[in-house]
Amino acid sequence: MSDGPDLAATRDLNHDGAVIGLADFGSTFTKLRVITPDGRMVGSTQHPTIHGDALVGLTAARQQLKYRHLAADFAETLACSSAGGGLRIAVVGLEHDLTVEAARQAALSAGARVTTIASAGLTDVTDATKLLAGQPDIILLVGGTNGGDEVTLIESAKRLAEVNGHHVPVVIAGNEVVQDEAAKWLRNAGWTVAQAPNVMPAIRTLRPSGVREVLRRPFISQVIGGKLGGGEQLKQLVQMATPDAVLRGTELLVGLLAQRGVVAGLIVVDVGGATTDVHSASPGDRQPQGYKRALLPQSTSARSVEADLGVRWNALGIVDAARDEGLIGATEITTLGDHAAAREQEPTYLSNCQTQADVDRRLTMLAITVALRRHVGRERLTLTPDGAVLAREGRDLTEASLLIGTGGPLRSLNPADLDACLASALGRGRLLLPRHARTRIDHDYVLAAAGLLAGAHQTAAAALLESCMSSLIQPLPIDS
């Protein structure tokens, strides 16, 4: 339901004290938010991202704020980034529905794109070579609960160690009993290895936070250092991937809502020029009873990334996905496809008339609809020896009460548009989406700013959410 204001911050551009700069280097725009130490947003601007030297866009954004008379002293500047295509991860594990899925969820929650999945480990050097042919930025090696299977992790490490001349960083997050031995095989062969807590230390136990922390370092060195440009100065500024910041902001908001008695889930859709990400979080496990469920429990927070749903670099992917989902007809496939192709050829294009703005709005809404359908699970009726069983497979968000849209392309949307996207997403199959949810649009990218701020300034991050999202902090009506 689209009642209430958007998620907009008030700004005092005459603030002249110490401030914290929060920069987001996006694929299309570099956004700069200026926050006081007590969590008030006092300045906001953006500038086109300059690929090859992203600091140029940040410098220009700072100048724009000076022109608008923001006489403030930047005590520090923190940054996140989604530019450069994101961190490409290959996951190697034991069973697809258990450790491999746990690792995939951990990688996605860290702001990475999972490009290759290898179940049952790597059995020979050919498997390892094929894995590297996908050109991952990093390999996430998992397998076995602590004290469980020891073969898969060690054998996979051995097979990678046999590959010569094509090394990428490896993170080992499997059975902690044999991690050291697996790491030794790789290090002796010249591979760079980092170890993280097991993503699934026991059956029905998922712990992605350790991997999220370990993956942040290679993200900065591989993506920021190798793809975005800006040298060592940019590496020092960037703390995390933008999707990681948005997820942290989402988790923080859910916690604030829970403290006020709003025990409800939250869905955040972040649309960008290259991808569309969906984040979801809940204060705890509130799964309805009476359904058959998978062995791997639903985590309290999760993220999915759709690399084919970007309103610039991957605009044609939106049209293709909407066609496959039955969301558009033959005529619109042709006309919208022409506009999408033009956007892919010129990713920095800015709409200059109402017709083109309407095209962007349509692409954005289709991307949201498809991404929501892909993020959640579904309800199925399955036959077993004991009779028919109603099973819920995948992420269950039927209890979520808030849907928030964020990202540059949503600047032209309003909450009612999100209502329409949710209704359209529900239109196919028995998807585990909420039937009713309040909708808001984060026009000021507050969630990313709060998530970035939370690492070193937890109190200020909470205050920022309080001040910018006060309408959400109040308990929701029962009929919402």
How many other CB atoms are found less than 10 A from the CB of residue 458? 12
Chain segment 96-117, per-residue pLDDT in tens:
777 777 787 777 666 567 888 8
As a whole number of angstroms, the distance between CA 137 and CA 29 comes to 24
For the chain, the domains span 85-219, 241-473
Pick from 21-30, 99-108, 198-207: least confident: 99-108
Pick from 9-18, 147-156, 235-244: least confident: 9-18
Pick from 38-47, 103-112, 406-415: least confident: 103-112
Kindly tell me if the per-residue pLDDT of 151 is higher than 60.
yes
- Shortest CA distance to 272 belongs to which of 320, 223, 246, 311? 311
Q: Which residue has the higher pLDDT, 386 or 191?
A: 191
Q: Which residue has the higher pLDDT, 471 or 128?
A: 128
- Shortest CA distance to 118 belongs to which of 161, 83, 69, 159? 159
Q: Which residues are 47's β-sheet partners?
A: 30
As a whole number of angstroms, the distance between CA 178 and CA 175 comes to 6
Chain segment 293-305, per-residue pLDDT in tens:
454 556 788 888 8
Structure tokens that stand for 462 in this block? 């909470």
In the block, residue with structure tokens 């948005």: 246
User: What is the per-residue DSSP string for 127-143?
Assistant: HHHHHHHT--SEEEE--
Q: What average pLDDT does range 209-215 have in this prediction?
A: 82
Q: Which residue has the higher pLDDT, 366 or 283?
A: 366
Q: What average pLDDT does range 122-144 have in this prediction?
A: 91
How many other CB atoms are found less than 10 A from the CB of residue 136? 23
pLDDT at 120: 84
CATH number of 241-473: 3.30.420
Secondary element (H or E) of residue 155: helix 151-161
Kindly tell me if the per-residue pLDDT of 270 is higher than 70.
yes
Torsion of CA 312, 316, 319, 322, to 10 degrees: -90
Alpha-carbon dihedral sign for residues 360, 362, 365, 371: negative
Phi, psi for residue 440 in degrees, rounded to 5: -140, 160
Residue 418 burial by CB count (10 A; 0-12/13-18/19+): exposed, middle or buried? Answer: buried
How many other CB atoms are found less than 10 A from the CB of residue 437? 24
User: What is the amino acid identity at position 77?
Assistant: T
pLDDT at 224: 60
First to last CA, the chain: 7
Instruction: Give the pairing of strands 170-172 and 138-141.
Output: parallel
pLDDT at 282: 84
As a whole number of angstroms, the distance between CA 134 and CA 141 comes to 16
Helix/strand/coil for 211: helix
Q: What average pLDDT does range 307-335 have in this prediction?
A: 93
Phi, psi for residue 352 in degrees, rounded to 5: -120, 10
CATH number of 85-219: 3.40.50.2300
Q: Best-predicted range by mean pLDDT among 24-33, 74-83, 109-118, 356-365?
A: 356-365
Kindly tell me if the per-residue pLDDT of 182 is higher than 70.
yes
Kindly tell me if the per-residue pLDDT of 128 is higher than 70.
yes
Question: Distance of alpha carbon 322 from its chain centroid, rounded?
Answer: 21
As a whole number of angstroms, the distance between CA 15 and CA 25 comes to 24
pLDDT at 479: 43
Alpha-carbon dihedral sign for residues 398, 404, 410, 416: positive
State pTM to two decimals. Answer: 0.80
Name the band, by pLDDT with cuts 50, 70 and 90, for residue 473: low
Q: Which residue has the higher pLDDT, 155 or 137?
A: 155
Name the band, by pLDDT with cuts 50, 70 and 90, for residue 229: low
Please, how many CA atoms are within 13 Å of residue 6, restricted to the half-sphere of its CB? 20
Instruction: Tell me the percentage of the chain whose pLDDT exceeds 90.
Output: 42
pLDDT at 387: 67
* Contact (Cβ atoms closer than 8 angstroms) between residue 203 and residue 95: no
Q: What is the mean pLDDT of the chain?
A: 83
Chain segment 422-435, per-residue pLDDT in tens:
999 997 668 999 98
Secondary element (H or E) of residue 406: strand 400-406
Secondary element (H or E) of residue 359: helix 354-375
- Shortest CA distance to 271 belongs to which of 400, 415, 369? 369
Q: Does this chain's domain 85-219 share its CATH topology with 241-473?
A: no
- Shortest CA distance to 14 belongs to which of 37, 34, 38? 34
pLDDT at 176: 96
* Contact (Cβ atoms closer than 8 angstroms) between residue 93 and residue 107: no
Structure tokens that stand for 162 in this block? 């046999």
pLDDT at 28: 77
